[in-house]
Structure 1
């Protein structure tokens, strides 16, 4: 999600025609963007980790999110075309559904191997594939929110500012979630359930555009899922940290 996809906030910023007023509200923008990008960040963190090259995770995130910024700007330029072609949003939703199904199917396969006692690092994803997957995953998340933002407000500067803040927040939260995915066993599952919810919300929007989907509902669902995801901490890592101290 993107902060400029929230109608109430977009209307509020549209009234802030002085740069001083907008800059004064940037801390609120940043805080909300961190919350709204949590589902995206977990998905990107899981993709970065799937390369199984810890020393290159940061580089993959930098390159992938850098490409994602270029794609977001391009998306803003063609947002009106996206609004007129609902199938583009449906493709994005289908991609997110595939991402969720692929994640859980791979996880069930890993669990089956573990239950048989086969310790294996599995196949690592090529570095370039990881970078491209990061970029296009962010693009899929951005299609609905950027299109909605452009439909609500014609302030390109505001929309671009929201996109830039979202990308910066995404880079830091993704790196943080890479660490948290090891600390909280449920967090990755919670993140992909949030991705599934976003995909479902997008599909409903395309199929039944007249149906009102309150923005607060998405916020509540994401917050509840992440509260559940962080409700259990890995005891093994706690013990390792205790020994290290």
Structure 2
């Protein structure tokens, strides 16, 4: 990170804090990157909550959304609390890298190619919603079902997908089925968030005591807390960013893909006793390969989409 954020100056300004934590100005760059990832993932999380809750009768929607938001906060805080333990487990790199690659590749290659040209915007309450780009119309029930299937990383039962009113007993069963899917989705997004942070801080330096906290654990905690804050307060800002730069969502999933690949490479080539790929030294090609891929992925978000030609009358 020194080569990216000031060379030897970061060493000059580095200092040790409580519980063995290390603070460098370069770490602010990591937190800035986490803010972008957390912001876009928070929008996707909120979109899924809204689309799933919309399948329920109107009287039940506010309660389902409340459960969803509470679950999102709780599971992210649990992820933050377990981060110090996850950073010590080598197998987390294998499972986490595979999961992040699955999430990214599912987004790019296994989603239905829709005819509707959609965009993310906000409603009167400031909550994210998906509308047709040129006309601003809301999606049909069928189009919403496609969006739910694409964005929810857990299976959704047909009962949850049905929107029609039902008898009280069936309605209650459908409500709790929907809440279950919402909570599982919250868990998935919390895992995305914490795994991305873990991948960016990497493994502790050689000779670091196994029982001591990771020296950059504070970066992971800061990223997780920012995710909770962004989910509640800053979603509108990122929605406006997506309205101006629609490819930013693509950039976020490219970043997730690169981070997942880095975790798998770290697991495959490196171990607690031998390091083949050094992602932390500016003298290593692996360092530059990773950060150039991250920079290119980030820049993709600022490429403006070409307007689609209007169909001839």
Q: TM-score, normalised by structure 2?
A: 0.54
Where is the helix percentage greater, Structure 1 or Structure 2? 1
* Deviates further, 67-76 or 37-46: 37-46
1:104 correspondence with 2:108? yes
Query: Is the contact made by 1:48 and 1:130 (CA closer than 8 Å) also made in structure 2?
Result: no
Query: Is the contact made by 1:40 and 1:138 (CA closer than 8 Å) also made in structure 2?
Result: yes
Residue in 1 aligned with 2:144? 122
Residue in 2 aligned with 1:138? 193
1:156 correspondence with 2:189? no
| Cα root mean square deviation, aligned | 4.3
* Deviates further, 48-57 or 91-100: 48-57
In the alignment of these two chains, the number of paired residues is 219
Shift in alpha-carbon separation, 1:67–1:112, aligned structure 2, 3 A? closer
Give the superposition deviation at 1:28.
6.3
Q: Which has the higher contact order (CA 8 A, sep 6+)?
A: 1
Give the superposition deviation at 1:30.
4.3
Query: Is the contact made by 2:31 and 2:222 (CA closer than 8 Å) also made in structure 1?
Result: yes
Query: Is the contact made by 2:251 and 2:300 (CA closer than 8 Å) also made in structure 1?
Result: yes
**Whole-Å separation in 1 of the counterparts to 2:12 and 2:77:** 22
**Whole-Å separation in 2 of the counterparts to 1:139 and 1:217:** 23
Q: Where does 1:65-214 land on structure 2 (aligned, <5 Å)?
A: 65-77=73-85, 79-80=87-88, 82-83=89-90, 87-105=91-109, 107=111, 109=112, 111-114=113-116, 119=140, 120-123=142-145, 124=148, 126-145=181-200, 148-149=203-204, 156=213, 159-172=216-229, 175=235, 176-209=237-270, 210-213=276-279, 214=286
Q: Secondary structure at the match of 2:144?
A: coil
**Whole-Å separation in 2 of the counterparts to 1:164 and 1:75:** 8
**Whole-Å separation in 1 of the counterparts to 2:12 and 2:85:** 20
Give the superposition deviation at 1:76.
0.8
Residue in 2 aligned with 1:16? 15
**Whole-Å separation in 1 of the counterparts to 2:226 and 2:207:** 23
**Whole-Å separation in 2 of the counterparts to 1:235 and 1:26:** 43
**Whole-Å separation in 2 of the counterparts to 1:69 and 1:150:** 26
Q: Which has the larger radius of gyration?
A: 2
Query: Is the contact made by 1:49 and 1:57 (CA closer than 8 Å) also made in structure 2?
Result: no
Which consecutive residues of structure 2, in runs of 5 or more, have no partner in the other structure?
Answer: 54-61, 118-131, 133-138, 153-180, 271-275, 280-285, 309-313
Residue in 2 aligned with 1:243? none
Query: Is the contact made by 2:251 and 2:297 (CA closer than 8 Å) also made in structure 1?
Result: yes
Which consecutive residues of structure 1, in runs of 5 or more, have no partner in the other structure?
Answer: 1-5, 237-245
Render the CA deviation track for 1:109-154: whole Å, top value 9, x for unaligned: 1x33438x99544224543233122112223324444661476756
Residue in 2 aligned with 1:223? 295
Query: Is the contact made by 2:43 and 2:239 (CA closer than 8 Å) also made in structure 1?
Result: yes
**Whole-Å separation in 1 of the counterparts to 2:12 and 2:74:** 26
